[in-house]
Amino acid sequence: MSRVCELSGKGPMTGNTVSHANNKSRRRFLPNLNDVTLISDILGQSFKLRVSAHALRTVDHRGGLDAFLAKSKDDELSGKALKIKRDVEKALSAA
């Protein structure tokens, strides 16, 4: 299981751990990922995704999963999220 957010594409970053004596050693900064179930209003079903806390706040701010996917770029989304986005767009065009 990779440590990458399925909605925002946020992944691990690298940096230094700096001690009190100013010794530097490499470390990884991991994203705060949570397993969540998000509901699509248009499709009427729920989806289990691995999402960062930051992306979860953005989904809530934009008004739900459907609105978030409509505004998001395709290259940031995972394959699973991209499929959900295409299904939402297809349902919107059919309605």
Q: Is residue 8 part of a domain?
A: no
**Whole-number average pLDDT of the chain:** 96
Say how many domains are in the chain. 1
Residue 63 has pLDDT above 90, yes or no: yes
The 10 Å CB-count burial string (b at 16+, else e) for 28-59 is: eeebebeebebebebeeeebebbbbeebbebb
Q: Is residue 52 part of a domain?
A: yes
Q: Is residue 5 part of a domain?
A: no
Torsion sign over Cα 70, 71, 75, 76? negative
Q: Is residue 77 part of a domain?
A: yes
Q: Which domain range does residue 48 map to?
A: 32-94
Residue 1 has pLDDT above 80, yes or no: no
Q: Is residue 13 part of a domain?
A: no
**pLDDT band, residue 95 (cuts 50/70/90):** confident
Q: Is residue 23 part of a domain?
A: no
Q: Is residue 41 part of a domain?
A: yes
Residue 50 has pLDDT above 90, yes or no: yes
Q: Is residue 43 part of a domain?
A: yes
